[in-house]
């Protein structure tokens, strides 16, 4: 997927703003060497450095990495595949926020992270958990089926495991899971009703690949109408996020 890094920083800042609380999972110690997996535009990478660590950010998107370098030229950012990367020097910790739901090869991620960590090193982070944005996806499936652009409800392009499923993978990959939780985090969108179409445009373009550009506004408008009873409260619009947070230690 091609990212619009400027729009991401401007209208979807909630991704890294919510991510600041995810950083608490990491408990950075001064002098540690830390990898930020899925660094996006680099804002949390910078926070990690400000907490005293030596940090490298990786992201699969060249657009995001270019923006991260522009935002923080003093930091190291590299384009790399989160499911297949390696470094010569090991890390004390790998941190990740709002990234792992984009990578279906979860075993590849876990294998790469395991190899990149020192013994006893930690892997900590958050991503979309089972049921994430299920209201958004259900409304989208309904409208796409109505227009003949989807055959069934099976339109989710993301990886949203349950806590048990992901913890099992981590354990199979050689980690001891010391913390795992799944919770609702309704996420406020910017720009009121328009925020819903903007969310889909930013993150969900792959779902609408078959929809002609001329029809897309109408399709998004109908999806938004369907979501109004559940996702609008007092003029504010929300996405029904469900998060999975974890800490795992390399054994
Ligand atoms: C999320 O952070 O949960 C998310 C972001 C973009 C697309 C899907 C999920």
Q: Is the pLDDT of residue 107 over 90?
A: yes
- The C-alpha atoms of residue 132 and residue 244 are separated, in whole angstroms, by 9
Ligand 1 centre from 98 Cα, in Å? 7
Candidate from 21, 125, 128, 137 with most ligand 1 atoms within 8 A of CB, to mutate: 128
Predicted pLDDT at 13: 74
Ligand 1: does its nearest atom lie under 6 Å from the Cβ of 203?
Answer: yes
Which residue, among 106, 209, 107, has the nearest Cα to 159 in the 3D structure?
Answer: 106
Q: Is the pLDDT of residue 73 over 90?
A: yes
Residue nearest to atom 1 of ligand 1 (CA): 128
In the structure, what pLDDT confidence band is assigned to residue 169 with cuts at 50, 70 and 90?
A: very high
Answer whether residue 202 is part of any domain: no
Q: Is the pLDDT of residue 54 over 80?
A: yes
Atom of ligand 1 nearest to the CA of 243: 3
| Cβ burial 207-221 (10 Å sphere, 16+ → b, else e) | bbeebeeeeeeebbe
Ligand 1: does its nearest atom lie under 6 Å from the Cβ of 132?
Answer: yes
Q: How many domains does the chain have?
A: 1
Predicted pLDDT at 16: 76
Residue nearest to atom 3 of ligand 1 (CA): 128
Q: How far apart are the first and last CA of the chain?
A: 34
- The C-alpha atoms of residue 187 and residue 152 are separated, in whole angstroms, by 27
Ligand 1: does its nearest atom lie under 6 Å from the Cβ of 98?
Answer: yes
Answer whether residue 125 is part of any domain: yes
CATH number at residue 26: 3.40.50.150
Q: Per-residue pLDDT averaged across 149-175, rounded?
A: 97
Answer whether residue 28 is part of any domain: yes
* Domain that includes residue 41, residue range: 5-132+158-191+240-250
- Per the prediction, the chain carries an average pLDDT of 95
Give the pLDDT confidence of 198-232 residue by residue, as tens digits.
999 999 999 999 999 999 999 999 999 999 999 99
Lowest mean pLDDT among 11-25, 161-175, 234-248: 11-25
Q: Per-residue pLDDT averaged across 109-115, rounded?
A: 98
Q: Is the pLDDT of residue 12 over 80?
A: no
In the structure, what pLDDT confidence band is assigned to residue 68 with cuts at 50, 70 and 90?
A: very high
Answer whether residue 149 is part of any domain: no
- The C-alpha atoms of residue 174 and residue 22 are separated, in whole angstroms, by 23
Q: Is the pLDDT of residue 34 over 90?
A: yes
Residue nearest to atom 9 of ligand 1 (CA): 128
Contacting residues for 213 by C-beta, under 8 A, at least 6 apart: none
What 3-state DSSP class applies to 4?
A: coil
Q: Is the pLDDT of residue 10 over 90?
A: no
What six digits make up the tokens of 247?
């800490």
Predicted pLDDT at 102: 97
Answer whether residue 225 is part of any domain: no
Answer whether residue 27 is part of any domain: yes
Q: Is the pLDDT of residue 6 over 80?
A: no
In the structure, what pLDDT confidence band is assigned to residue 15 with cuts at 50, 70 and 90?
A: confident
Ligand 1 centre from 31 Cα, in Å? 32
Question: What's the pTM value of the predicted model, to 2 decimals?
Answer: 0.94
The conformation of residue 149, written as its DSSP 8-state character, comes to S
Residue 212 C-alpha from the chain's centroid? 27
Q: Is the pLDDT of residue 26 over 80?
A: yes
What six digits make up the tokens of 223?
């999806």
Q: Per-residue pLDDT averaged across 125-135, rounded?
A: 98
Ligand 1: does its nearest atom lie under 6 Å from the Cβ of 243?
Answer: no
The conformation of residue 196, written as its DSSP 8-state character, comes to H
Answer whether residue 40 is part of any domain: yes
Candidate from 15, 64, 99, 132 with most ligand 1 atoms within 8 A of CB, to mutate: 132
114: alpha, beta or left? (left if phi > 0; alpha if psi -120 to 50): alpha
Quick one: three-class SS letters along 56-102?
EEEECCHHHHHHHHHHCCCCEEEECECCECCCCCCEEEEEEECCHHH
Q: Is the pLDDT of residue 36 over 80?
A: yes
In the structure, what pLDDT confidence band is assigned to residue 14 with cuts at 50, 70 and 90?
A: confident
- The C-alpha atoms of residue 235 and residue 201 are separated, in whole angstroms, by 21
Predicted pLDDT at 164: 98
Answer whether residue 205 is part of any domain: no
């Amino acid at each position: 997927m091609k990212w619009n890094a400027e729009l991401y920083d401007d209208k979807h800042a909630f991704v890294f703003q919510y991510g600041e609380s995810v950083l608490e999972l990491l408990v950075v110690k001064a002098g540690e060497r830390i990898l930020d997996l899925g660094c996006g535009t680099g804002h949390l990478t910078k926070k990690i450095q400000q907490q005293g660590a030596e940090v490298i950010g990786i992201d699969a998107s060249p657009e995001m990495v270019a923006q991260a370098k522009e935002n923080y030229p003093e930091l190291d950012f590299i384009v790399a595949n989160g499911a297949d990367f390696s470094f010569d020097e090991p890390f004390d910790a790998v941190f990740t926020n709002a990234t792992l739901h984009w990578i279906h090869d979860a075993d590849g991620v876990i294998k790469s992270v395991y190899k990149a960590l020192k013994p006893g090193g930690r892997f900590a982070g958050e991503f979309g958990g089972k049921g994430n944005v299920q209201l958004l996806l259900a409304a989208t499936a309904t409208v796409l089926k109505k227009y003949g652009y989807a055959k069934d409800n099976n339109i989710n392009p993301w990886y949203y495991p349950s806590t048990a499923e992901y913890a099992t993978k981590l354990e199979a990959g050689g980690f001891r899971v010391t913390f795992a939780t799944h919770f609702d985090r309704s996420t406020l969108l910017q720009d009121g009703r328009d925020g819903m179409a903007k969310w889909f445009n930013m993150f969900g373009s792959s779902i609408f690949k078959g929809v002609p550009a001329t029809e897309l506004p109408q399709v998004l408008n109908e999806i938004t109408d369907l979501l109004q009873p559940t996702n609008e409260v007092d003029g504010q619009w929300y996405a029904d996020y469900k998060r999975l947070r974890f800490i795992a230690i390399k054994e």
